[in-house]
Amino acid sequence: MGAIVSVERVLARTPALAVLLPMIQVYDSGCLLNMDVVARNAAAPRGLALQLDAAFSGEEGTSLHITLRYPDGREVASDMDHHCAPPSLSWFPGGVRGDASYTLYQMPLWLFPLPPPQKFLLTVEWPWAGIGPEVVPLDGAAIAVAAARSARCWPP
């Protein structure tokens, strides 16, 4: 069972969209960055839902782009998951829900292996949506502590 690191940050926003990182779910081998995108339906341009569906399917030119930069200069990006060599940052299946006012797109990213236990930078960029680049520091030490307290489903 993953341990939770509370982040509770708005990473970027436009009049129609907000990109959020409420928490990171940390396991002993990697972690899920639980990204949320909230669309304010009244401010959204016509056809936004179809464009978001295309963006979340990974269509080139419309996708949300996340980059992590570690203190040693290494970078890992969400559009580089095709090479699968560590470190890797891969989109994980999420979900969509909403009402007449808002639509929430859950877009978790799997990071393997765990980041180093120092501060590192997360950059969010989404040119298609008018976002970025926005840079936010994350606490690698808090992630390392959470990994140590994560519970295994079965004994080793």
Find the range with the poorest average confidence among 48-52, 87-91, 104-108, 138-142: 48-52
Mean pLDDT of the chain: 88
| Pair 22, 8: CB distance under 8 Å | yes
Whole-number Å distance between alpha carbons of 123 and 137: 9
Could you tell me the domains of the chain? 3-149 (2.60.40)
Give the tens place of pLDDT for each residue, 24-67: 999 999 999 999 999 988 887 777 777 777 666 656 567 789 99
Query: Residue 144 pLDDT more than 70?
Result: yes
pLDDT score, position 96: 82
Q: 3-state class of 128 per DSSP?
A: helix
pLDDT score, position 81: 61
Enter the pTM of the model: 0.87
Task: Tell me the average pLDDT across 123-131.
Answer: 90
Residue 32 Cα distances to 17, 21, 25, 27, angstroms: 22, 11, 5, 8
